[in-house]
Structure 1
């Protein structure tokens, strides 16, 4: 399903691209011939972020392209803008006149690749025609692998639930396993009860397509990493039915699963020295005569009882069984990713990925890597005084504490109860969706946090 996004091979007729900061405009223009200087000044080129000025050659074909890089603050406010500007150039092959350098150079190159993405499963989409020669100074092969993995995540999220149910999500995981020689097992339908995954079965039992737990393993040595992704392929809210306006984007409620599959692809394509495990509880939260009900109490895989106070808080239920399984074979680092709470969106908006962890080393490493790769994250607390909010008295745990306060934190605390034995645990409460077009991130599904985690793994700072 995923697209291949790549750079162009080198060619002698590539049009040179000059990246110019505002402070460097005069120096660059001084090196140009008089006609080109006059042209650039006539058009007011000032090096503003993503500003483009094509300098005409004698044959009418551009002799060079000037692209403004703006200020550092401009680039922070609008990441990937330079790469997107390159992708938007007219049909031709282009080559950067100077090597790219460091994190900013990688962002420009990756921004170009990600700007090539189009979701065209249901309708042809016009694609950028600019071809950028693989830039010098950055690891282009790695960036292409990252872009391909991000495209997989976007494709999975963008696909509507009619074509992306639990069965299709399983098929995507199987394709990924086959591509990289990973092992995969799937527990489906009534077999979930026999295998002691009662909460996954409970949430998915009312749907026409059977719930399942996907378990993918890759790598035999190195550090152990377990990724757990929420795979709710559509969420009606169950008997606590969502209003129509809230149901419209629920095809993206498997965004956690899509993101961990994209991250897994990065890891396997890079060949990192890891023992990787990916667990995805894949379900639909539907309405039928056998839907689970508010007030019901169920026993999770680890023996804890859970009172259901809202059937629309189903994601933490399916993750609970998957995390309990992960806890039985503790990895060095366990990460869950889920489109879990509206509270996280209210707190941080659509662009920031909140994460929770008690491990200071991992938190520091992740924050640094997120800044380096322009994949913003923000740490929220496992706030111990709120533990009592998830304890209803009639059962061990409450899946939806009343009151509406600290919703993201109480959900994270709920999940942490299922991994008491893992040495390092982090939970990401992502949105998985770009609500409007932005540079290199068209409106629709988007990965969040995966590149930051991947960079921390490459740096050896996690786990």
Structure 2
């Protein structure tokens, strides 16, 4: 076996000058030589600290242009390896000479642990590549094509085009897509249960492959990152990629379905306008007051269909509201839920995955502003940012009839122009613990 370019060693806090001012989770370059570079870190005391070490180590490896990185055994090897693999990823598909990913060698992983890390890594990478793809490459049609690649792993994939969407009465999804030549797609990916299904977990993702804001058009700066407005869709498809490799760990009787509502929110002669009214799949009429509040529209129809098709519990992920970033920043997702048990399971899954969620209330009085001043049952926005994430979640709640949770992941899907794959880990842990 070739020698490592960069080797990490764990040292005790009393390591003299080596540990001077060295904090938990930090990696420090100790020595350089022709035989390879040496780095040191304190032995991680928790999975969270191990993730910090893994990410810091790969940042150092990238700085040193290391091709092979060796890590000794630790109690939290899985967490360290997963974080290191995630930090080492960069999308090199559109560079003539893209940066290579360092090869990671982590001692102490069992065969099952390594398989789980690799499966999770494959799902996160799939999600990150989807989010990172530019809008002229990824649209509803090509997103559906990417979803079909999961069929090779034993996932059943169905795709509904514009005619199918219209036939199901999904007029909100159709309206959002009406300004785009690509039209809408509803993607359903299924991992059948072993034995008779007693639980059907629906993972629902917002798949706006590009968001101009429609006629309520965004500013140039606000539009620049809108290829990532399908981060929720990427997360649920990435989770299906991981779960397909780990299907033997899914409890018996649990069927997993991913639903993706895919559309481009564009302007054009057929695009929806402020003041238009559409009948949703569940029969409610919605007045469009803001065409840039489109994510809740496509999710509303998709949540309705998932419930009609027998989902026993639903989790949706969406880059839904900018005010979520104001409230919680880019590291923490907002969690809303109609069911305490579901909430507890999602919080535990996020904790195990090293992702962070914070529960916000479904404060019912806020929905009144979506019922005032409209000729329809609801309007899609009251144009007031105060409480905007809560009001958007309350809007979605009108379209579910089963235990349901909503994760607003605005700001989580990419960081410093690098896609994160946020949510894949939480969804995988959630399903496997089901």
Q: Structure 1 length normalisation: TM-score?
A: 0.83
Supply the distance in 2 between the matched residues of 1:218 and 1:343 (Cα, whole angstroms).
35
CA 1:180/1:242 → structure 2, altered by over 3 Å: closer, same or farther?
same
Deviations 1:214-235 (A, max 9, x none): 1222213453111111111111
- Return the offset for 1:117: 1.2
CA contact (8 A) 2:27 2:40 kept: no
Which one of 198, 205, 215 corresponds to residue 188 of structure 2?
A: 215
Q: Tell me which residue corresponds to 1:401.
A: 382
Supply the distance in 2 between the matched residues of 1:227 and 1:237 (Cα, whole angstroms).
25
Deviations 1:381-416 (A, max 9, x none): 111221212213521111011332111111111111
Deviations 1:303-350 (A, max 9, x none): 001011111111111111111101113323211111111111111111
Supply the distance in 2 between the matched residues of 1:132 and 1:112 (Cα, whole angstroms).
10
CA contact (8 A) 2:55 2:83 kept: yes
Q: Which moved more, 1:150-159 or 1:445-454?
A: 445-454
CA 1:382/1:403 → structure 2, altered by over 3 Å: closer, same or farther?
same
CA contact (8 A) 2:28 2:39 kept: no
CA 1:190/1:44 → structure 2, altered by over 3 Å: closer, same or farther?
closer
Which one of 118, 121, 142 corresponds to residue 147 of structure 1?
A: 121
Q: Which moved more, 1:134-143 or 1:371-380?
A: 134-143
CA 1:155/1:404 → structure 2, altered by over 3 Å: closer, same or farther?
same
CA contact (8 A) 1:82 1:111 kept: no
Q: Which moved more, 1:378-387 or 1:184-193?
A: 184-193
User: Does the alignment pair 1:446 with 2:420?
Assistant: yes
Which one of 31, 36, 45 corresponds to residue 54 of structure 1?
A: 31
Alignment of 1:162-177 (within 5 A): 162-176=136-150
1:306 alignment partner, SS class: strand
Supply the distance in 1 between the matched residues of 2:50 and 2:219 (Cα, whole angstroms).
37
- Return the offset for 1:131: 3.8
2:383 alignment partner, SS class: coil
1:208 alignment partner, SS class: coil
Q: Tell me which residue corresponds to 1:232.
A: 208
CA 1:336/1:387 → structure 2, altered by over 3 Å: closer, same or farther?
same
- Return the offset for 1:282: 0.9
2:118 alignment partner, SS class: helix
CA contact (8 A) 1:235 1:286 kept: yes
CA 1:189/1:135 → structure 2, altered by over 3 Å: closer, same or farther?
same
Name structure 2 gaps, 5 residues minimum: none
Q: Tell me which residue corresponds to 2:9.
A: 18
Alignment of 1:84-163 (within 5 A): 84=58, 87-88=61-62, 91=66, 93-97=68-72, 99-102=73-76, 105-123=77-95, 124-129=97-102, 131-136=104-109, 139-163=113-137
CA 1:128/1:388 → structure 2, altered by over 3 Å: closer, same or farther?
same
Supply the distance in 2 between the matched residues of 1:286 and 1:406 (Cα, whole angstroms).
26
User: Does the alignment pair 1:253 with 2:233?
Assistant: no
- Return the offset for 1:434: 3.2
Supply the distance in 2 between the matched residues of 1:238 and 1:405 (Cα, whole angstroms).
22
Supply the distance in 1 between the matched residues of 2:28 and 2:265 (Cα, whole angstroms).
47
Which one of 332, 347, 352 corresponds to residue 367 of structure 1?
A: 347
Supply the distance in 1 between the matched residues of 2:362 and 2:336 (Cα, whole angstroms).
6
- Return the offset for 1:195: 2.8
Q: Tell me which residue corresponds to 2:298.
A: 318
Supply the distance in 2 between the matched residues of 1:321 and 1:44 (Cα, whole angstroms).
56
Supply the distance in 2 between the matched residues of 1:263 and 1:73 (Cα, whole angstroms).
21
Alignment of 1:168-317 (within 5 A): 168-176=142-150, 178-221=151-194, 222=197, 223-271=199-247, 272-273=250-251, 274-317=254-297
Q: Tell me which residue corresponds to 1:425.
A: 404
CA contact (8 A) 2:47 2:80 kept: no
Supply the distance in 2 between the matched residues of 1:108 and 1:87 (Cα, whole angstroms).
14
Cα-Cα RMSD: 2.7
Which one of 365, 377, 380 corresponds to residue 385 of structure 1?
A: 365
Name structure 1 gaps, 5 residues minimum: 1-10, 27-40, 437-442
CA contact (8 A) 1:305 1:395 kept: yes
Who wins on radius of gyration, i.e. which is larger? 1
Paired residues, number: 419
CA contact (8 A) 1:50 1:69 kept: no
1:230 alignment partner, SS class: strand
Q: Which moved more, 1:201-210 or 1:107-116?
A: 107-116
Supply the distance in 1 between the matched residues of 2:168 and 2:312 (Cα, whole angstroms).
25
